[in-house]
Amino acid sequence: MSTHADTWKGDAVGLVEAFRSGERSPLEELEASLAAIEASDLNAVCFVDEENARESAANADVSLPFGGVPIGVKELDEVAGWPNTHASVPFADEIGTVTDTKIQRLIDAGAVLACQTTASEFGGVNQTNTKLHGATRNPWNPERTPGGSSGGSSAAVAGGLLPIATGGDGGGSIRIPAGFTGLFGLKATFGRIPLGPQIGPGNLTVNAGCLSRSVRDTARWFDVSNGFDLRDPLSLPRVEGWEAGLGSFTDQLRGRTATVLANMGAATVATETTEMVEAFAEWLIGELGMNRVETTTQMPRSGGAWSATGGLGLYRTVRDRWPECGPDLTGPMRAGVAATLDAYDAKVAAQAEDERIGINEAMADLFTDADFVFAATNPSVAFNADGHLPSTFGDKEASPINHGLLTIPSNIFGNPAVSIPIGLSSEGLPVGLQVLAPHFNEQLLLDIALHVEKTKPWPLVAP
């Protein structure tokens, strides 16, 4: 498989340093990325803006935080003049009319918008396989999925096509693909990076971020992107010093409490994944001088409220085209719209609210028991790229809703969580450790990940 060719093999921060030293040039790196994208069979990219990207690279100000860095933009993020397809056939001819605030901030920080990366349709499932673009492939094994919904971003970054790409996490869609492809992924506190313009509250679970190769890349991304914006009234005030503060919070971790809950109290997790997560968590807790504690908190199953409230947003997107567009949607999305119209009423809304409250209370109890929670990112390693979501997780069986039970609680509760690469399974596929913290503690999570990165560094690209 042709993947990274002559592209930069390090992280985005390192690439900026190479630009500043004259070791490489933005235009040279862009051309390498464009060539790698053209040669790749990962199906991670669905649109390339060569002309504008070349102009941006030729005029890049490398003194800026991401000056000259070619980035991928997830298909569900809007860029004026680019396709705005929602990864869905009925929207194949739509063109973006605005540029998302978070993307504009990256442009202002010098990033070169090179291409659009594939996503799952409407971001609805954790497998990137759509009628519009087909299946996106995992660079560790092309028969496997890179996950979703930010699957194209994770495949492109782990596959060496681009050093960094945008991601969004409404139910695990940064952490899940990061875990499947050996990347680092942070889902921040809800509202940390604004989602506007033209954003509605939706089901209050979606977070913006990136798929990156290093902790410092993600820290710099948040330096550039975080902060309140009037067009997203739920966004949070700006926080400074994400990259500059790396390593300065490690001493604050000593003496903190941590619990290991590989299955988050509700998910079915493959035996091998459980064993890897528990062993790595035990080592890391000791390394950081934390105190391991036990918890009796049980997590309610979280898929119902997430699906029901998400269905409203899905219907809002397709309503002018429904039901004629039904046959052109993927099965899960078609079923989601139909279920919303057929079954969503005051009773379902109340049940969803009850479930959401239950998750919030359980998460509050969990963080009363411990300062940090160590869990698996995914129930098993990456599954097949083609076909439907499987009901087999390693050596165990469960319903397909199991795919999101590890990650959705943090989307509902709104707390930050990271996925850290911790090694390869017996199948040679990446496994991710998820670490959760209460609201506003992203920098502590970054320092936990930084310790892993320094002591047990992960491969920056797939071999």
Whether 48 and 122 map to the same domain: the answer is yes
Domain membership flag for residue 324: no
Whether 34 and 143 map to the same domain: the answer is yes
Q: Of the residues 208, 225, 242, which one is the last residue of a structural domain? A: 225
Whether 297 and 196 map to the same domain: the answer is no
Domain membership flag for residue 366: yes
Whether 141 and 278 map to the same domain: the answer is no
Alpha carbon 183 to chain centroid, angstroms: 10
Residue 281 banded pLDDT, cuts 50, 70, 90: very high
Whether 216 and 265 map to the same domain: the answer is no
Global pTM reads: 0.97
Report the CATH number that the domain containing residue 191 is assigned in CATH. Answer: 3.90.1300.10
The residues pairing with 95 across neighbouring beta strands, listed in sequence order, are 83
**Digit-coded pLDDT (tens) for 187-223:** 999 999 999 999 987 889 999 999 999 999 999 999 9
Whether 38 and 175 map to the same domain: the answer is yes
Opening angle at CA 267, ends 263 and 268, nearest 5:
95
Whether 157 and 205 map to the same domain: the answer is yes
Residue 305 banded pLDDT, cuts 50, 70, 90: confident
Rounded (to 5) percent helix, strand, coil in the chain: 40, 15, 45
Supply the mean pLDDT for the chain.
96
Q: Which domain holds residue 199?
A: 12-225
Q: DSSP letter string over 136-180?
A: --BTTBTTB---SSSHHHHHHHHTTS-SEEEEEESSSTTHHHHHH
Whether 163 and 299 map to the same domain: the answer is no
Domain membership flag for residue 26: yes
Whether 215 and 71 map to the same domain: the answer is yes
Contacts of 102 (CB under 8 A, 6+ apart): 77, 166, 193, 194, 195, 208, 225
Whether 103 and 36 map to the same domain: the answer is yes
Strand (E) or helix (H) holding 186? strand 184-187
Domain membership flag for residue 239: no
d(CA 13, CA 453): 15
Whether 112 and 205 map to the same domain: the answer is yes
Domain membership flag for residue 439: yes
Domain membership flag for residue 319: no
Whether 165 and 122 map to the same domain: the answer is yes
Domain membership flag for residue 296: yes
When divided into structural domains, the chain yields a total of 2
* Torsion sign across C-alpha atoms 224, 228, 230, 234: positive
**Digit-coded pLDDT (tens) for 385-440:** 999 999 999 999 999 999 999 999 999 999 999 999 999 999 999 999 999 999 99
